[in-house]
Structure 1
Amino acid sequence: MCDNDSFDDMVEYQLRSNELSRRRFGAIAMGTSLTAMLPSLAGAAVALKETEVEIKTPDGVCDAHFVHPAEGKHPAVLVWPDIFGLRPAFREMGKRLAESGYAVLTVNPFYRTKKAPTAPEKADFNDPATRAALMGLAGALNATTAVTDATAFVTWLDAQTAVDKKKKIGTTGYCMGGPLTMRTAAALPNRIGAGASFHGGGLVTDKPDSPHLLVPRMTAHYLFAIARNDDEKEPNAKDVLRETFAKAKLPAEIEVYPAIHGWCPPDSRVYDEAQAEKAWGRLLALFKTTLV
């Protein structure tokens, strides 16, 4: 998937304690509901059905969260979490997306080794043992496991009565999940109509299996929401992405946000509500025009 240096970059934000939003992180510590931290949709009153599911893959059984409107068929969305894995914050994000009319599957990417939760509550990368454990989980994944999993998850989604198979599927990824969306889109171009990477790491590398090299195989329209500090480290990555998508004649919205790597999940130490809401709005706009 990407080398150890890339994973180090993807999780560096956890070490930036001086940039911690103390007010919001303190609210989490005191038990504030994650649902309350995710602004509700104006006038939304959508009845949802959510379940914890198990999905068979060639490598085992993946535990995942599936949520969708209680009635009807809807476009599916496959969500790849960050290195902290499947947890309450991502379940709530899935529910919020389902309120907008999508059947959302959020997976545990580390199922081969451990069922969720795969990270301690309020995990801290300043703790060497925690960091080593999670880096070990992430480092066990690669381009092959990504394709194997994406194929199994999309096949499972297409077998669900809540999923409208006549409409394209979307996929979103956070941090290490960003490149996983690209591998998904390249492996299943006939089904994946849209992809979105939020503060994704390792999107453009010098490796022969770099995710950006897969763009010619895709048909998906894309959103890349890039963190300010990630762009400072790799200022050319956004330009390579623009050139690659333009050459493939695929639409891609690529923007550097004035936020720190990891700003989107509401339980992040660097959660930036204003910029997270902007990114969420762009995601909904992408899905509205492509998952048809």
Structure 2
Amino acid sequence: MCDLHDQEELKKYKRRDFAVWAASAGMLAALPAVANAVAVAERDVSIATADGSCDAYFVAPTSGPAPGVLIWPDVFGLRPAFRQMARRLAESGYSVLVVNPFYRQMKAPTAAQGGKTPIAEVMPLMQALTPAMHLSDGKSFVAWLDAQPEVDKKRKLGTTGYCMGGPIAVRTATVAPGRVGAVATFHGAAMVTPAPDSPHRLVAQTQARYLIAVAENDDKKDPEAKLALRAAFDGAKLQSEVEVYPAAHGWCPPDTQVYDAAQSERAWSRLLDTFGKALA
């Protein structure tokens, strides 16, 4: 969960590979270059929603229409790290939109220190959002993607979610089941809860292939969650991959205190494989 960014958790994982973390502290780690990267064009955009206007970042190949992807950031929001991640995905052949999920409260950047911002400073932003807002926004963002000439409407869309973005990605797939063909979540928060609208109870309303990358410390706190997710996918007859990674909650974005380059690359390779199969 997002509250796993507490001091004891951070100390544990910083000790695991302190030299690597110390070398990148205070800066954004450079992600590996994409092999055979395609040329891309990027722009900041504003998207009309039921509740206002959402600031976002869009980057896409210049060679022609490509499958669209919607990225839901973690609790630290739209920032340079997610722009870098989106550009890398675009260089791999996708038209990528990263949104500011907190646009109702403030424009990005919403976390003063990016992924190293104290969690207490950003939790109120996350807590102000509701599942109804997630559903409404997901519908707006899917429609926006489908209106762009850079997006190939003949191919399915993908959506990814990090931390709090995990459940939102699943909800997005429920509002556009005929369009969303792949959902990937990385260290997703609250993917399995007692609530009637828990993400694992919603997957039957979708038609997507799933990649669920679970953080080691999240799994230790709730080891039954991965089993519930697998059972939900099996029950819905959806193709899925649910795996626990030996890394901490927050390991994927390159600006967090628990960024794990090796495990991030492993997750990246699984994402490309999932999209390659589901969005072809």
* Normalised TM-score (structure 2): 0.94
Q: Offset of 1:271 from its aligned partner?
A: 0.8
Structure 1 residues 135 and 162, CA gap change in structure 2 (3 angstroms):
same
* CA 122–24 in structure 1, closer or farther in 2 if over 3 Å, else same: farther
The whole-number CA distance in structure 2 between the counterparts of 1:24 and 1:106 is 28
Where 1:275 maps in the other structure, the secondary structure is helix
Contact kept, 8 Å, 2:116 with 2:257, in 1: the verdict is no
CA apart distance, 1:209: 1.6
Match of 2:158 in 1: 170
CA distance in 2, matches of 1:122, 1:29: 12
Separation (CA, whole Å) in 2 of partners of 1:101 and 1:164? 11
Under a length normalisation based on structure 1, what TM-score does the superposition of the two structures give?
0.91
1:118 to 110, 113, 116: 110
AA aligned opposite 2:150: A
How far, CA to CA, are the matches of 1:198 and 1:109 in structure 2?
A: 17
> Are the counterparts in 2 of residues 195 and 223 from structure 1 also a CA contact under 8 Å?
yes
Whole-angstrom CA distance in 1 between matches of 2:277 and 2:116: 38
Deviations 1:126-182 (A, max 9, x none): xxxx54441110001111000100000010000101000110000000000011111
CA contact (8 A) 1:25 1:267 kept: no
Q: Which residues of 2 match residues 43-82 of structure 1 at below 5 A?
A: 43-44=36-37, 46-82=38-74
Aligned-residue offset at 1:27: 3.8
Shift of 1:189: 0.2
Q: Residues of 2 paired with 1:280 and 1:205: CA distance?
A: 27
Aligned partner of 2:167 in structure 1 is: 179
Contact 1:79/1:107, CA 8 A, preserved across alignment: yes
Unpaired stretches in structure 2, ≥5 consecutive residues: none
RMSD over aligned CA atoms reads 1.5
The question of 1:282 aligning with 2:260 is answered no
Matching residue's letter, 2:33 = S
Aligned partners of 2:229, 2:143: CA distance in 1, in Å? Answer: 28
Matching of residue 39 in structure 1 with residue 32 in structure 2: yes
Q: Equivalent residue for 2:97? A: 105
Matches within 5 A, 1:1-292: 9-15=1-7, 16-18=9-11, 19-20=13-14, 21-29=17-25, 31=27, 34=29, 37-44=30-37, 46-122=38-114, 124=116, 130-292=118-280
> Counterpart of 1:238 in 2: which secondary structure?
helix
Distance in structure 2 (CA, Å) of the matches to 1:222 and 1:209: 18
Partner of 2:5: helix, strand, or coil?
Answer: helix
Q: Secondary structure at the match of 1:68?
A: strand
After TM superposition, give the deviation of residue 289 of structure 1 in Å: 0.7
Deviations 1:11-55 (A, max 9, x none): 313533312254444444454x54xx20112243x2110001000
SS at match of 2:96: strand
**Structure 1, residues 252-273: CA drift from partner, whole Å, max 9, x if none?**
1000111111111111111111
SS of 1:109's equivalent?
coil
Q: Which amino acid aligns with 1:243?
A: A
Task: Indicate the larger mover: 249-258 or 14-23.
Answer: 14-23
What is the identity, as a one-letter code, of the residue corresponding to 1:110? F
Count the aligned residue pairs.
Answer: 276
Moved more, 221-230 or 18-27: 18-27
Cα distance in 1 for residues equivalent to 2:272 and 2:115? 29
Within 2, Cα distance between the matches of 1:51 and 1:24? 32
- Paired with 2:141 and 2:207, the residues of 1 have a C-alpha distance of 19
- On the 8 A contact 1:189/1:220 being kept in 2, the answer is yes
**What are the Cα deviations for residues 81-120 of structure 1, in whole angstroms up to 9, with x where unaligned?**
0000000000000000001100000000000000000001
In the TM superposition, what whole-angstrom CA distance separates every residue of 1:67-93 from its partner, at most 9, and x where no partner exists? 011120000000000000000000000
Change (3 A) 1:25 1:116: farther
